[in-house]
Amino acid sequence: MDIELSTEDLAFRDEVRAFFSENEYKPGEDYNQWRLDWFAKAREKGGWDIPKWPTDFGGPGWSPTQHYIWEQETAVVNLPWDMPFGIGMLAPVLMAYGNKEQQERFLPDIRARKVNWCQGYSEPGAGSDLAALKTKAVLSEDGSHYTVNGTKMWTTMAQIADWIFCLTRTDDSGIKQQGITFLLFPMNQQGIEIKPIITLGGAHTINTVFITDVKVPVENRIGEEGKAWTYAKGLLQHERTGLAGISRSIIALEKLKNQAGTVKRGNATLMDEPGFRAKVAELEVDLMAAEFTELRSLASASAGAAPGPESSILKLKGTEIQQRIQKLTVEAGGIYSAAWGAKPVGPSFAKGGMGGYLASRAYTIYGGASEVQKDVIAKNVLGLKRSR
């Protein structure tokens, strides 16, 4: 979509592009050192290392258009590897519900990328129905600590995480959304066992985490005991906005169109076939609509509002769009996509296309399944009430 940029916005875009160019990774460099230096230099720019944090916590205070420009530009460059769980998910919860001591204790290391976090939400019997979680946290008689027992499932990057933010049940006497408590504790301790889950695409990114008699000091509780459902919903709204991946999809769709333009069909290419072009056009229209929704969300956030139900719209449509791009990539690769696990044959993108397609099956599940997002939209956007 075209958005009219002011002189100031164009200058900001040029500044962003110049920063990326000056600090791009050079082959042969020590990657870990380059990564740390990149974030340090971004911090010196006035909060560019934490673009979505509010100014009170060191963020840049950008306008919606500047955020839009940043998202567009970061989608096409090689940024340092960054785990989202601390920066984009736990940090907003600490800012909103943590006390000053907790903020001073955890936020600096999160910003400096010194501590890797993982998310202890889903369980074997509590995935989309997260409020059904059963991991127990029992407060000691002297009130000094909780003892935690349970199992967490689909825990992304738990194998390299230093700490976990974990939803636990401290009371099961009321409705299931009550009695949930938000705890933080280290992963490298006795009582924590991590077992890998290999995904359909063959990657090890997710895990099962077994928690047995882990002691958690009460000062590691965020907010009030039993009130974590409110905090969890806020965190999920931040997560869902990020999972939408609108800017990345814009780039991916352009890449797909270029790839399809290299696949010969008689005297023309796949992009010249009316059926394939219609699928791409429909996808492009849906992506544009999602982009407008993202801009409205950015405008709301810049005015100080917390993410709302529009995050569910973005997550629902954004992940479906990502899947459709992957599906069309496989279609463009044709029969050669089937050889993804062996030596690549046919178009160079065919092998990666199938791997991406298989991995994308999870997009509409994690972060809240599409069915959950539709329920949120029905209740909070459309105002529909559950039938009795």
Residue closest to 358 by CA, chosen among 202, 139, 132: 202
Across the strands, what pairs with 198?
204
CA distance 153 to 366: 11
Q: Supply the pLDDT for residue 149.
A: 98
For the whole model, what pTM was predicted? 0.82
User: Does residue 349 sit in helix, strand or coil?
Assistant: coil
Q: Specify the higher pLDDT residue, 61 or 117.
A: 117
Q: Name all contacts of 360-363 with Cβ < 8 Å and 24+ positions apart.
A: 360/322, 360/323, 360/326, 361/200, 361/323, 362/199, 362/200, 363/243, 363/319, 363/320, 363/322, 363/323
User: Does residue 176 sit in helix, strand or coil?
Assistant: coil
Band of residue 1 on the pLDDT scale cut at 50, 70, 90: very low
DSSP state at residue 88: I
Helices (H), the chain: 7-22, 31-44, 64-74, 84, 91-97, 100-111, 228-243, 246-260, 274-302, 310-333, 350-360, 370-380
Query: On the CB side of 238, how many CA atoms lie within 13 Å of its CA?
Result: 21
Domain-by-domain residue ranges, the chain? 7-82, 89-95+114-227, 244-380
Q: What percent of the chain has pLDDT over 70?
A: 92
* pLDDT per residue as tens digits for the range 94-146: 999 999 999 999 999 999 999 999 999 999 988 777 889 999 999 999 999 99
What fold is seen in the domain 89-95+114-227?
Butyryl-CoA Dehydrogenase, subunit A; domain 2 (2.40.110)
Parallel, antiparallel, or unpaired for β 180-186 and 163-169? antiparallel
User: Does residue 182 sit in helix, strand or coil?
Assistant: strand
- Largest distance between two CA atoms of the chain: 80
Q: Supply the pLDDT for residue 25.
A: 95
Q: Supply the pLDDT for residue 234.
A: 67
* pLDDT per residue as tens digits for the range 215-242: 999 999 999 999 999 888 766 665 556 6
Over residues 281-285, the mean pLDDT reads 95
CA distance 250 to 179: 42
Q: Specify the higher pLDDT residue, 286 or 344.
A: 286
Q: Which helix (H) or strand (E) holds 216?
A: strand 204-217
* pLDDT per residue as tens digits for the range 13-39: 999 999 999 999 999 999 999 999 999
Across the strands, what pairs with 165?
119, 184
* pLDDT per residue as tens digits for the range 153-198: 999 999 999 999 999 999 999 898 899 999 999 999 999 999 999 9
CA distance 347 to 212: 50
What class does CATH assign to 244-380?
mainly alpha
Over residues 357-365, the mean pLDDT reads 85
CA distance 361 to 366: 10
Query: By the 8 A CB rule, do 12 and 66 touch?
Result: yes
